[in-house]
Amino acid sequence: MSLEVLYICLALVGLWCQFLLLRGRSATIRIVHFLIALVLWAGFFPVIFNFEKKKEIPLTDVQKGLILVDRSASTTFSDENLEDLKDRFDNEDSAGIGWFEFSDGLCAPTGKAKKKGLTTIGKTFAELLPHVEEIAPDWIWLLTDGGDTQIEHLPTLYTGLDLYLSVIPHFNSGLDYGVANIKTDPVWYVRTETSIYADIYRNKSGTMDSIDVLCLIDGVIISTQKIKFGSQDLKKPIEFTGLSKHLGTTRIEIAIAEGQGGSLLANDRLLYQCQVIRDKIRILRVVGRPTWSSKFLRDNLIKREDVDLIDFHILRSMRDRVLASNQDLALIPFPVEELFVDNISSFDLIIWQNFDSDTYPFFKRQYLLNIKRFVKKGGGLLLWAGGLPWDFSVGDFKDLAPVRNKGSRVLNVKGHFTIDEPHLLLTDRLKKEFIRTSENQLRIFSGEKSEDCVSLIQFADHTLVGIKEFEQGRVAQINSDELWNLEFNASEEHKGLYGHLVNRILLWLQKHPDLHAVEFSINGPVTINSSVDITFPSALSENTNLVWEKDGVIFKNPLQKGSYRFSINTPDRPGVYKVNLESSRHNLLVSVHSIASEYLSDQAYLAGQKKLLNLNFKKLDLNRETPWSQSGKSQKVYRNSGYPWHANWAYFIIMLTLIVIHWLIVSRTSLERS
Amino acid sequence: MPRHFLFWVLIFCLATTSSPAAESSRFKVGCLVLGTVSSSYMNSGQTLLKELNFRTQVDPDIPAAWKKMDSSLKGSPPFLWLIIGPGANIDKVLMQKLQRFMASGGTVLAEADGSPMAISHLKRLRHQLFSNKKIKRLKDGSLLTRTFYIVPTSISNSYKVLLNSGRLVWIESDRSLLLGIGSSGMSREYSIRMGINIVLYTLTGSYKDDLTHLRYLMRRKKQ
């Protein structure tokens, strides 16, 4: 119930009570009193509702109005068109006109809108409210393509104003396909398949055709589908299933195949970012021989709650004689097929510890190739040396191994730990403790370093811990089976050093976000053809370039030395880009978003315009003369004068007199009764 | 003379540059004797390690694998075989060493030689080491009875164990396993099997409780 209705109801009840109160008095007094009470009640209306005197604005007076220009990506209203429009109102009569531009929201009152995004009329009108209250315009003129199909109502402040709508053309150069509305869980679990939904739309119907749609995760194609449009179809839903193998931010991209997206390229890709968390790290470990090295690693892994360890030890080799029947043995066959074919993709990490697969005829070469494929696709592999006669200088692991060594080539080396390579894997504490440890003899499996091996920790010039990136995956190698001494014989000072090293290696192998290089940060979402701020922790010491790379196409932003904050232009094609400084090997994956849902079908634009007309907008031809500036015609515009009715002494005296008379009549009646 | 000289130079070079496998990485047992026990215990220890080498993939550093320790436990491998006989001297320093040994990842197998005095020493030692903790007697189907061999309950039920954070730190028996290994017939065989199970349990931990094994063993049991 509105306040006005409530007030009228109260007034009527009050009047009726007054009438009852004077029961028994003469009819004249009752009528006079009723009229006084009525006037008194009515007299409070202007005070409560702040009625103001209206004044007529002559044609020669300054018109107050707001012009709102749609600068979203879908319009073809250029900067020149806007300048021409402004020139039309460049006269004295138009001095009271305020110019606003909008897209994702209201832009600055003057100047060009820098970011071209969506058409958001509802949000813009909400943001415009303070300006409307301040300026008190007589009219608002909206120039838009009608790209906002979501608008349902406008705030009440706009109800008394004259609203005009002029339709400006939207981008429409021919048949075009686009991607819209990606939906999936905002949080994924690592290695868990999750559904991704999206809409593929086109702007014109009437033909039957089909296009190929790709689903990419972190820039890698995981699936493709063909979408068939019937002659009347404008939109088709699509569903993919994806999974992420690493933690942190994952970028999901739905893209129309190259060359099939129609006239506009900007809406052919749509990105969505979600966070990937894990339940547990799934580790498969194969141990060729139970040793102290394998025991201490298991003890370390098994006590961690975030590790799901599938462990397999060879307890008996082909040459061992167990002197017992199978019934008396608790041994099981090595489930190679189950581990290395059926379920290999379910693991985050494989630990290959002192295992010589060549000794076992049942261990087919196919399993080694599967491990290689597993690493190529982003898995982690930890090679841990031991005394069995394995050989990484030949065979399928030759490419994978950071150090090409053999189980048979082992040296008892005297020396100390040294750390040359500053790498994020090693924390400062780890580096200091390794250097300070008193260990001066170690069994090292020595070999030739592969080209891209990073030697993290050396022991007397031999690589003790080497790491290497292999396509999308990572490999680490530990070339001693005596590291467990760091745990077992450690002084109190170095307790936990072994566990700390293992933990850091596991984090690195699973590409944990905690170990990502942070050389610079990009502030805010990145959209095509716009600008974005990037920040460095300190000022740059030399001129360099920020390089964006996607599918072999490179885009560069020059950065001048001496500054730590830059505003840079973004690429013109959406997608997941690798961004890095020209001189650095660390890169950052950045999603460059399109503004895809803005490119609608013709029918959708018409529907958006129709919704605005239903909200009391009057259609106005853009090229014709506007109603408020039509000279020679009679036009009356009323505006609040700024003076409320009750704001003068005469009103106050009348109301006071009426109240006194009312009081006298009522009190007199009461006295007579008593 | 020169031939001999070259031969010894070659031997020296091989020994200093690329020595064969050594030492702390290969399997060894530290043996600490408290009190007076028969020398046959040592022979039984060597026998067990030879059987371990013959029957399993474990690679004991024979003949150095049975390593006699003193009470400082300095240089002890992570598996300590504690043999308690009459007249054992158990002092506070040894207690602390044993506690530190177990806290660092070591496992102790303590056995009395069967004499009442040795059994009493063993109980006192255990009480002083783990006063508040309960030591459990091995049950049928427990991990120690199926690490490598499936050992009958009659053999395994004389053992008590203590786990710390899922890791086996203490095994004890009133009946000497080494004496059993030194005997003959099925008693010897079961003692060797139990010894092998204990060694493999210390090396592989609760590995046999992993789902992969349990599923297979259940399937086999049904068949």
For A22-35, give the DSSP string: TTTS-HHHHHHHHH
Q: Above 80 in pLDDT, residue B23? A: no
User: Phi/psi of residue A598, each to 5°?
Assistant: -70, -25
Task: Find the mean pLDDT for residues A66-81.
Answer: 83
Q: What is the pLDDT of residue A663?
A: 82
- Say if the Cβ atoms of A323 and B55 lie within 8 Å: yes
Q: What is the pLDDT of residue A288?
A: 94
Q: Which of these ranges, A183-197, B6-20, B26-40, B177-191, has the smallest mean pLDDT?
A: B6-20
- Say if the Cβ atoms of B55 and A321 lie within 8 Å: yes
- Say if the Cβ atoms of B204 and A295 lie within 8 Å: yes
Question: Among candidates A450, A481, A480, A483, which has minimal Cα distance to A468?
Answer: A450
| Min distance B216 CA to chain A CA atoms (Å) | 7
Q: What is the pLDDT of residue A108?
A: 63
* Strands of A65-70's sheet in order across: A97-102, A65-70, A139-144, A162-167, A617-619
Interface probe with A: pick from B57, B163, B191, most Cβ of A within 10 Å: B57
In the three-class reduction of DSSP (H, G, I as helix; E, B as strand; rest coil), residue B32 is classed as: strand
The residue with tokens 């566990």 is A499
In the three-class reduction of DSSP (H, G, I as helix; E, B as strand; rest coil), residue A393 is classed as: coil
Task: Find the mean pLDDT for residues A418-435.
Answer: 76
- Containing H/E element for A399? none
| Angle A335-A340-A341 from CA coordinates, rounded to 5° | 100
Considering only CB atoms, which chain B residues are within 8 Å of A488?
78, 104-106
Q: Above 80 in pLDDT, residue B144? A: yes
Provide the pairing of β-strand A194-202 with A281-287.
unpaired
In the three-class reduction of DSSP (H, G, I as helix; E, B as strand; rest coil), residue B73 is classed as: coil
Considering only CB atoms, which chain B residues are within 8 Å of A317?
57
Q: Between residues 149 and 168 of chain B, which touch chain A (CB distance below 8 Å)? A: 149-150, 165-167
Q: What is the pTM of this model?
A: 0.62
In the three-class reduction of DSSP (H, G, I as helix; E, B as strand; rest coil), residue A220 is classed as: strand
Q: What is the pLDDT of residue B14?
A: 42
User: Phi/psi of residue A245, each to 5°?
Assistant: -100, 0
Cα(A204)–Cα(A297) distance, integer angstroms: 63
| Cβ–Cβ < 8 Å for A488, B106 | yes
Tokens representing A55 are 């004044």
Provide the pairing of β-strand A194-202 with A177-183.
antiparallel
Considering only CB atoms, which chain B residues are within 8 Å of A298?
204-205, 207
Q: Above 80 in pLDDT, residue A603? A: no
User: Phi/psi of residue A561, each to 5°?
Assistant: -70, 160
**Confidence bin at A477 (pLDDT 50/70/90):** very high
Which residues are CB-neighbours of B53 under 8 A, at least 6 positions away?
Answer: B59, B60, B62
| Min distance A377 CA to chain B CA atoms (Å) | 26
Question: Among candidates B77, B55, B85, B107, which has minimal Cα distance to B179?
Answer: B85
In percent, the amount of chain A with pLDDT more than 90 equals: 20
Which residues are CB-neighbours of A448 under 8 A, at least 6 positions away?
Answer: A393, A403, A404, A405
Q: Which of B57, B207, B216 sits opposite A316 (nearest CB)?
A: B57
Bridge partners (DSSP) of residue A164 are A141, A618
pLDDT tens digits, one per residue of A309-320:
889 999 998 888
Question: Among candidates A11, A2, A18, A49, which has minimal Cα distance to A645?
Answer: A49
Cα(A247)–Cα(A513) distance, integer angstroms: 7
| Min distance B217 CA to chain A CA atoms (Å) | 8
- Say if the Cβ atoms of A315 and B57 lie within 8 Å: yes
| Min distance A393 CA to chain B CA atoms (Å) | 18
Give me the amino acid identity at A452: D
Chain A with chain B: Cβ pairs closer than 8 A = 134
Q: What is the pLDDT of residue B4?
A: 56
| B139, B144, B147, B155 from B158: Cα distances, Å | 10, 12, 17, 7
pLDDT tens digits, one per residue of A547-572:
898 888 888 899 888 888 888 888 88
Q: What is the pLDDT of residue A57?
A: 59
Chain B residue at shortest CA distance from A314: B57
Cα(A98)–Cα(A236) distance, integer angstroms: 42
| Better pLDDT: B211 or A131 | A131
Chain B residue at shortest CA distance from A317: B57
Residue B206 in contact with partner chain A when CB distance is under 8 A: yes
Instruction: Please tell me what DSSP assigns to residue A169.
Output: P
Q: Between residues 29 and 68 of chain B, which touch chain A (CB distance below 8 Å)? A: 54-59
**Confidence bin at B15 (pLDDT 50/70/90):** very low
Considering only CB atoms, which chain A residues are within 8 Å of B209?
none
Q: Which of A299, A324, A387 sits opposite B25 (nearest CB)?
A: A387
**In the predicted model, what is the mean pLDDT of chain A?**
82
Q: Cα torsion at A255, A257, A261, A266 (round to 10°)? A: 40
| Min distance A391 CA to chain B CA atoms (Å) | 16
- Say if the Cβ atoms of B25 and A309 lie within 8 Å: no
| Angle A482-A485-A487 from CA coordinates, rounded to 5° | 130
Task: Find the mean pLDDT for residues A51-64.
Answer: 62
Cα(A392)–Cα(A466) distance, integer angstroms: 14
Please give the biggest Cα pair distance in chain A.
Answer: 129
Considering only CB atoms, which chain B residues are within 8 Å of A289?
57-59
Task: Find the mean pLDDT for residues A220-236.
Answer: 90
Q: Which of B26, B57, B78 sits opposite A488 (nearest CB)?
A: B78
Q: Above 80 in pLDDT, residue A210? A: yes
| Min distance A452 CA to chain B CA atoms (Å) | 27
User: Phi/psi of residue A145, each to 5°?
Assistant: -90, -5
| Better pLDDT: B222 or A226 | A226
10 Å Cβ neighbour count for A601?
18
Tokens representing A638 are 């009323």
Cα(B7)–Cα(A530) distance, integer angstroms: 78
Please tell me whether the peptide bond between B63 and the residue prior to it is cis, using omega within 30 degrees of 0. Answer: yes
- Say if the Cβ atoms of A292 and B77 lie within 8 Å: yes
The residue with tokens 């092998």 is B196
Q: What is the pLDDT of residue A292?
A: 93
Cα(B117)–Cα(B36) distance, integer angstroms: 11
Q: Above 60 in pLDDT, residue B28? A: yes
Considering only CB atoms, which chain B residues are within 8 Å of A484?
105
Q: What is the pLDDT of residue B77?
A: 93
Cα(A463)–Cα(A453) distance, integer angstroms: 10
**Confidence bin at B31 (pLDDT 50/70/90):** very high
Q: Which of A330, A387, A410 sits opposite B148 (nearest CB)?
A: A330
Q: Which of these ranges, A274-283, A378-387, A427-436, B139-148, has the smallest mean pLDDT?
A: A427-436
Q: What is the pLDDT of residue A562?
A: 84
Q: Cα torsion at A319, A324, A326, A327 (round to 10°)? A: -160
Q: Which of these ranges, A33-42, A58-67, A521-530, B99-108, has the smallest mean pLDDT?
A: A58-67
Q: What is the pLDDT of residue B1?
A: 45
Task: Find the mean pLDDT for residues B97-114.
Answer: 91
Task: Find the mean pLDDT for residues A23-42.
Answer: 80
In percent, the amount of chain A with pLDDT more than 70 equals: 89
- Say if the Cβ atoms of B54 and A321 lie within 8 Å: yes
Q: Which of B150, B166, B202 sits opposite A328 (nearest CB)?
A: B150
| Better pLDDT: B166 or A207 | A207
| Min distance B57 CA to chain A CA atoms (Å) | 5
Considering only CB atoms, which chain B residues are within 8 Å of A315?
56-57, 148, 200, 204
| Min distance A314 CA to chain B CA atoms (Å) | 7
Tokens representing A672 are 């007579």
Tokens representing A15 are 């009047």
| Cβ–Cβ < 8 Å for A245, A220 | no
Per 3-state DSSP, chain A is made up of helix, strand and coil in percentages (nearest 5) of: 30, 35, 40
- Say if the Cβ atoms of B104 and A489 lie within 8 Å: yes
pLDDT tens digits, one per residue of A114-156:
556 778 888 888 888 888 887 778 788 999 988 887 788 888 8
Residue B201 in contact with partner chain A when CB distance is under 8 A: no
User: Phi/psi of residue A485, each to 5°?
Assistant: -60, -25
Q: What is the pLDDT of residue A327?
A: 85
10 Å Cβ neighbour count for A485?
22
Considering only CB atoms, which chain A residues are within 8 Å of B56?
315-316, 320, 322
Chain B residue at shortest CA distance from A322: B55
| Better pLDDT: A584 or A30 | A30
Three-state secondary structure string covering A244-284:
CCCCEEEEEEEEECCCCCECCCCCCEEEEEEEEECCCEEEE
Q: What is the pLDDT of residue B217?
A: 66
Cα(A530)–Cα(A603) distance, integer angstroms: 29
Question: Among candidates A259, A359, A256, which has minimal Cα distance to A317?
Answer: A359
Q: What is the pLDDT of residue A670?
A: 67
Q: What is the pLDDT of residue A634?
A: 38
Considering only CB atoms, which chain B residues are within 8 Å of A332?
212-213, 216-217
Chain B residue at shortest CA distance from A315: B57
- Say if the Cβ atoms of A315 and B105 lie within 8 Å: no
Give me the amino acid identity at B87: G
Residue B195 in contact with partner chain A when CB distance is under 8 A: no
Q: What is the pLDDT of residue A254?
A: 93
Q: Which of B54, B148, B203 sits opposite A291 (nearest CB)?
A: B203
